Amino acid sequence: MEIILLEDVKSLGKKGDIVKVSDGYARNYVLPKKLGVEANAQHKNDLKLQKANADKVAAQQLAAAQDLAKLLETKEVSVKIKSGEGGRAFGSVSSKEIAQAAKDQCGLELDKKKIQLPEPLKALGAYEVSIKLHPKVTGKLKVKVIEE
């Protein structure tokens, strides 16, 4: 049976994923606990239910991404980097470091792959970094690169 997950389930996947599980696991655990809804339609009447479930999950994901984008606008993270004379940095700040700083300083879980850096941050100062939260939503996070 295919299930659309409504919440993150440790052994199955993340919210919004469509996963295949055994019928018994779906009937006895996932569906009663409202962790997911049935994704596949077995009857013509179920096609409407399947479409409604997929639309509901898509709308929830879009709303969550929009809320996170608004939250990111108000946040600022600081990343320390070693620098030499004239504020020139040794190395650069990566998306991995920005994601870790957001987690430590703001409690936000950001995927490092979704952080879009047009060029590496190699100098001290303040930057605005784009984060692709959803195909239709891009958030902005203020990153301050400071001397270590």
Residues 81, 58: one domain? no
Domain final position from 17, 43, 69: 69
Number of DSSP helices (H) and strands (E) in the chain, helices first: 3, 9
- Percent of the chain scored above 90 by pLDDT? 18
What pLDDT digit, counting tens, does each position of 75-117 carry? 899 988 888 777 677 888 888 999 999 899 888 888 888 899 8
Tokens of 17: 């994923």
Give the domain range for residue 15: 2-69
List, for residues 94-103, the tens digit of each pLDDT value. Answer: 889 999 998 9
pLDDT of residue 43: 47
Give the amino acid at 91.
Answer: G
Specify the pLDDT at position 46: 58
Number of domains comprising the chain:
2
pLDDT tens track, the chain, 148 positions: 888 888 888 888 888 788 899 999 989 998 899 888 887 655 445 566 667 777 777 888 888 889 988 988 888 999 888 887 776 778 888 889 999 998 998 888 888 888 998 888 888 889 999 999 888 888 899 999 888 7
> Same domain, yes or no, for 51 and 15?
yes
Domain shared by 47 and 92, yes or no: no
Let me know whether 58 and 96 are in one domain.
no
Residues 6+ apart with CB under 8 A from 53: 4, 37, 38, 39
Q: How far apart are the first and last CA of the chain?
A: 53
Cα gap 45→118, rounded to integer Å: 48
Backbone angles phi and psi of 6, in degrees to 5: -95, -15
Nearest by Cα to 72 from 135, 141, 145: 141
